[in-house]
């Protein structure tokens, strides 16, 4: 097959920074058996091309991005026809993928991977904040031949909008991120880890308030906070105000190779997001033998209470209590870690690629059947 994937970013030519590992894992696996062209909207400001993970990357760049992306897909289609077009993330990506597919008379798929279905007005986030966004998403998703999402909470959100979707988690590449068996804590001081860009959606303020309660109660812990700071030091100020300086290490961005040894020292992943389709880091932590406590979003809600523990969004008191519960009960922590790893290994990057390929074949066979009937 010849496949067109439309992405917002995550495929930097370095293969190390500004990448989304699950995207690279999927692209590399698909490229083993298919001709893969990735049309990325905003990886670089100027239009460019490069090879990555066995695929041809077409960077669209700034300025009339949607129209130029559709034109780029059409131009490549004229060289040799695409069998289908897939968007990972909705919004602009899905609009481009579905519009191009309609133009070229090929099937389209849309994978929901972000906040396309929500409206968090208080922080200005989500694809459904304005009527134009709601209308665009409704028309685009109803026009796609298949809609997929990583976790059941997103599937349920789609169902509430009258849309049927298929669950396809974006799994971990076990060759680059190998499994490590869950292990007992070796230190009295607990090591927590949080991996996410520092931004409003990840709501690290709730996490810090939860940790301040633990610190006041004498719980001995340190937190490695890994991620790009998009709030210009705001969280560091809050950490000082809450008296958490000695408990938190702000480590900034780390590549996957740099992140792995930090993850391996962790006893618990802690997340405080207002919304997640995944998060991918929960799967990475699970593969590395680390369980998760977090807010009831995405996989955290989906896996709780057997393979993770979830608390209501924004509830730092309950988050603190759940973290304390896991740190005080080593058998519980290990049970969560073992079941989380079992699930993550079953739904790794190879599984993701197989599930998408099965959908591709179904759509292509359906198209061929319709074409033969029309003849």
Summarize pLDDT for 315-336 with one digit per residue, the tens.
999 999 999 999 999 999 999 9
Question: Which among 343, 317, 322, 342 has a CA at the least distance from the CA of 333?
Answer: 322
For residues 125 and 371, give the distance between their C-alpha atoms in angstroms, rounded to a whole number. Answer: 42
Chain region(s) in the chain for CATH 3.40.50.2000? 2-171+349-374, 190-346
| 330 close to 267: Cβ distance less than 8 angstroms | no
Output the pLDDT for position 128: 84
Summarize pLDDT for 189-210 with one digit per residue, the tens.
999 999 999 999 999 999 999 9
Q: Name 250's bridge partners.
A: 225
The class (CATH top level) of 190-346 is alpha beta
For residues 365 and 199, give the distance between their C-alpha atoms in angstroms, rounded to a whole number. Answer: 43
Q: What is the pTM of this model?
A: 0.94
pLDDT of 370 > 80? The answer is no
For residues 163 and 159, give the distance between their C-alpha atoms in angstroms, rounded to a whole number. Answer: 5
Within 8 A by CB and 6+ apart from 342, the residues are 307
- Residue range 2-171+349-374, CATH number: 3.40.50.2000
Computed over every residue of the chain, the mean pLDDT equals 95
| Residue located via tokens 């992306």 | 69
| The two structure tokens encoding residue 313 | 């969004």
Neighbouring CB atoms inside 10 A of 15's CB total 15
| The two structure tokens encoding residue 201 | 């959606």
Q: Mean pLDDT, to the nearest integer, of 294-317?
A: 98
Say whether 18 sits in a helix, a strand or coil.
coil
Summarize pLDDT for 34-54 with one digit per residue, the tens.
999 999 999 999 999 999 999
Summarize pLDDT for 57-88 with one digit per residue, the tens.
999 999 999 999 999 999 999 999 999 999 99
DSSP secondary structure string for all residues of 78-135? HHS--SEEEEESSTHHHHHHHHHHHHHT--EEEEE-SSTT--BGGGTB-TTSSHHHHH
**What order do you get walking across the sheet with 292-295 strand by strand?**
248-252, 221-226, 190-195, 268-271, 292-295, 309-311
pLDDT of 277 > 70? The answer is yes
């Amino acid at each position: 097959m010849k496949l067109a994937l439309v992405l917002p970013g995550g495929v930097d030519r370095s293969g190390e920074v500004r990448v989304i590992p699950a995207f690279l894992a999927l692209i590399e696996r698909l490229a083993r058996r298919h001709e893969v062209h990735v049309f990325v909207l905003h990886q670089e400001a100027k239009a460019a091309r490069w090879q990555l993970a066995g695929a041809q990357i077409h960077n669209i760049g700034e300025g009339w991005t949607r129209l130029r992306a559709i034109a780029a897909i059409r131009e490549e289609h004229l060289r040799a026809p695409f069998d289908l077009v897939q968007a990972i993330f909705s919004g602009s990506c899905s609009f481009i993928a579905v519009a191009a597919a309609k133009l070229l008379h090929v099937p389209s798929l849309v994978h929901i991977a972000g906040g396309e279905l929500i409206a968090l007005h208080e922080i200005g986030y989500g694809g459904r904040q304005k009527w134009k966004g709601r209308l665009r998403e409704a028309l685009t998703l109803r026009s796609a031949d298949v809609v997929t999402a990583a976790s059941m909470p997103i599937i349920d959100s789609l169902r509430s909008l009258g849309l049927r979707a298929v669950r396809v988690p974006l799994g971990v590449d076990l060759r680059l991120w190998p499994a490590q068996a869950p292990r007992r804590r070796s230190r009295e001081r607990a090591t927590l880890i949080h991996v996410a860009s520092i931004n409003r959606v990840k709501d690290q303020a709730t996490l810090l308030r939860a940790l301040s309660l633990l610190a006041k109660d004498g719980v001995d812990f340190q937190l490695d906070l890994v991620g790009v700071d998009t709030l210009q030091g705001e969280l560091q100020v809050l950490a000082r105000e809450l008296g958490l300086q000695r408990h938190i290490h702000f480590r900034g961005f780390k590549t996957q190779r740099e992140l792995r040894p930090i993850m391996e020292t962790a006893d618990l992943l802690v997340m405080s997001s207002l919304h997640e389709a995944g998060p991918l880091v929960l799967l990475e932590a699970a593969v590395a033998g680390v369980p998760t406590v977090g807010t009831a979003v995405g996989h955290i809600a989906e896996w709780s209470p057997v393979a993770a523990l979830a608390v209501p969004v924004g509830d730092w008191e309950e988050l603190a209590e759940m973290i304390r519960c896991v740190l005080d009960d080593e058998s519980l922590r290990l049970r969560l870690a073992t079941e989380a790893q079992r699930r993550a290994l079953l739904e790794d990057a190879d599984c993701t690629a197989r599930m998408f390929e099965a959908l591709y074949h179904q759509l292509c066979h359906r198209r061929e059947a319709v074409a033969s009937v029309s003849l």
